[in-house]
Amino acid sequence: DSADFDREVESICPFCGVGCQISLKVKDDKVKYVEGINGPANEGRLCVKGRFGFDYIHHDHRLTKPLIRRDDAPAKGLNVDPANWQEFFREATWDEALDFAAKGLKNIGGTGVAGFGSAKCTNEEAYLFQKMIRQGFGHNNVDHCTRLCHASSVAALMENVGSGAVTATFNEIENADVAIAIGCNPIENHPVAATYFKQFTKRGGKLIVMDPRGQALKRFSSHMLQFRPGTDVSMLNAIMHVIVEEELYDKQYIEAYTENWEAEKEHLKDFTPEKMAEVCGIDAETLRDVARTFAGANAAMIFWGMGVSQHIHGTDNSRCLISLALMTGQVGRAGAGLHPLRGQNNVQGASDAGLVPMFLPDYQSVMNDGVRSAFTDVWKSEDFSNQKGLTVTEIMDAVHDGDIKGMYVLGENPAMSDPDVEHARDALAKLEHLVVQDIFITETANYADVILPASAFAEKSGTVTNTNRQVQMGRAAVSPPGEAREDWWIEVELAKRLGLGWEYTSPADVFAEMKLNMRSLDNITWDRLEDENAVTYPSLSPTDPGQAIVFADGFPRPDGRARFTPASIIAPDDVPDAEYPMILTTGRQLEHWHTGSMTRRSTVLDGLEPEANCSLHPSTLRKLGVVAGEAVRLTTKRGSIEIMAREDRAVSPDMVFLPFAYVEAAANILTNPAVDPYGKIPEFKFSAVKVEAV
């Protein structure tokens, strides 16, 4: 009823990478409710998070004033109660807080300072953040949560197809007749995308689900391969072995568009389904059937998530998926393509904007002199380091080594999100100067020297880019609370105090600068996005809504050819033994978002899932003598937590599934920081664990 609101503002859901367009209904400067509108990715649909997960915006825990740590504050890291923060911090004016933040970072200077940005921020904020570290401190020690998400997928895609983004939008599944969904759980994690998957199966499309954990998508699948955790490469290589053995591959496509096929073919010889069945736990006949089904498709897509990427062999897992698509010619056509489902709402855009230690915007290498000078010409500044910077986990190691002493954290929560969080928390406590910019006193802010109160998505304007490469316009609908300010404004004011002379007056100014060195934004302007809400990149003309499918005629690699990179079996880093006999895997739940700072402050979402929980098979519970609802203790080589057990037949008897949104039973106390050598992504999906009754 329009009487319920006095303003409607169109924006983008702040949660997952689907990027649903929404209409915020506002009354008295408060968001009253949210409706889905006709965006290219959602066509009016929303999931429970997008529809009901907005009241955190007006939560009374919101930061409303800049805060500086008191000289007599208790030790860093103690939990700061939002109702009793005065014991730890004192209020400051913006000028005082910004001067203090800048002075502390400047005094340390150079490679002693690192930056953690966020995929929750807009493209403009991500661009400014990486620029500040590079221009202000002369190096590339800047990263964000893509490192914990799809870094290995991007490494494999860059290596083998020449671009880290998806080759086709997920909506293209409507033109496919076969699809693989591996290591992803879209009904919980990309719920609106999952509605397109379900429609596809209702039309007769064959959906092959591959996951060590059962899931709701199983009901819609033609094949459900519940393989042993960590054995992706053996299973995928066996499927490709069958395609080679039975000559089901697309010879013409391979000859026209790829390289290194002979090496791949040779490599696959050893991976017979019979041999690999013993490794991955899927019988040989099923592997053959899946190979024939996929290779026999007219158009097929492959979707994957963190079940593929968060392994020490995450890049190898993705290499296999890319090879499977290439050998069957399933790229660059309607209904065909490779699609790593992006996690956070702007992880694609923040990565595109250069918020990573090895690339400037548009994945241009920091090691290339011409690339750096193109940016410093625009920035009117000195050259900066030609060495790749440190990643999220390497930055924490460098703090322990005494090399990094100052940090600027914008919207990220490494005290919850890093693997082996005790190691990360000890690092945060060691810092001489920590600047945290956020909307709540997060677990990371417990360690801050200064906290800068920032804005929620509904309080700021800026562009974000979803999993489909759709650049979309987010708009401010309500005012930030108290003296909280838009993130871009805070960054600009901080940069001025670092002596960088920034003079932006709006996010539109920043976007205009980004376009100077980002060919992906050609034909996409701020005004166009204001008018159209979304444009997919690449857009070939000022009126082209953008290309849903890319690489119809070759790849952005030497000679236009994609590459087969053979992958061998690498065992997980932390394998079960007599002391830690089970396998721990972590992930998200439908109702909660990442470290929970927003969704656990949303009344409906927290009401639906109020308590930390882990999932165990009924036979495991029986063996432990535990009834669902009682507590269990989970212990790995890194730490221990107690948590309520749930009965769940979707996990196998040797597995525990643990959501990571709950601070009172933080999953990452347990997880393993060992990383994939290419993408540097930690192995969140596999740790040896001991489970005991409490």
Q: Which stretches of the chain bind ligand SF4, using CB under 6 A?
A: 13, 15-16, 18-20, 42, 46-47, 49-50, 190-192
- Pick between residue 205 and residue 474 the one whose CB is nearest to ligand SF4: 474
Q: Which amino acid is at 613?
A: N
Contact 377, 370 (CB under 8 A): no
- Pick between residue 15 and residue 489 the one whose CB is nearest to ligand SF4: 15
**Three-class secondary structure of residue 325 per DSSP:** helix
Contact 473, 530 (CB under 8 A): yes
Q: Which residues of 579-606 are buried (b: 16+ CB within 10 A; e: fewer)?
A: ebebbbbbbbbbbbbbbbbbbbbbeebb
Contact 614, 588 (CB under 8 A): no
Q: State the nearest-atom distance from the C-beta of 474 to ligand SF4, in Å.
A: 12
Closest alpha carbon to 113 in 406, 438, 548: 406
Supply the DSSP string of 408-440, one letter for each residue.
EEES--HHHHSSSHHHHHHHHHH-SEEEEEESS
Closest residue to ligand SF4, based on beta-carbon distance: 50
Q: State the nearest-atom distance from the C-beta of 345 to ligand SF4, in Å.
A: 6
Q: State the nearest-atom distance from the C-beta of 425 to ligand SF4, in Å.
A: 28
Radius of gyration of the chain (CA): 24
Q: State the nearest-atom distance from the C-beta of 173 to ligand SF4, in Å.
A: 15
Q: Which amino acid is at 494?
A: L
Closest alpha carbon to 127 in 649, 495, 421: 495
Contact 101, 494 (CB under 8 A): yes
Q: State the nearest-atom distance from the C-beta of 194 to ligand SF4, in Å.
A: 8
- Pick between residue 315 and residue 536 the one whose CB is nearest to ligand SF4: 536
Q: Sort strands 67-69 and 89-91 into parallel, antiparallel or unpaired.
A: antiparallel
Q: State the nearest-atom distance from the C-beta of 529 to ligand SF4, in Å.
A: 18
Mapping DSSP onto H, E and C, the string for 471-511 reads: EEEECCCCCCCCCCCCHHHHHHHHHHHCCCCCCCCCHHHHH
- Pick between residue 12 and residue 691 the one whose CB is nearest to ligand SF4: 12
- Pick between residue 49 and residue 617 the one whose CB is nearest to ligand SF4: 49
Query: Token pair of 536, please?
Result: 């997919």
- Pick between residue 15 and residue 294 the one whose CB is nearest to ligand SF4: 15
- Pick between residue 170 and residue 551 the one whose CB is nearest to ligand SF4: 170
What is the torsional sign of CA 58, 59, 60, 63? negative
Q: State the nearest-atom distance from the C-beta of 439 to ligand SF4, in Å.
A: 18
Q: State the nearest-atom distance from the C-beta of 18 to ligand SF4, in Å.
A: 4
Q: State the nearest-atom distance from the C-beta of 29 to ligand SF4, in Å.
A: 23
- Pick between residue 135 and residue 470 the one whose CB is nearest to ligand SF4: 470
- Pick between residue 131 and residue 190 the one whose CB is nearest to ligand SF4: 190
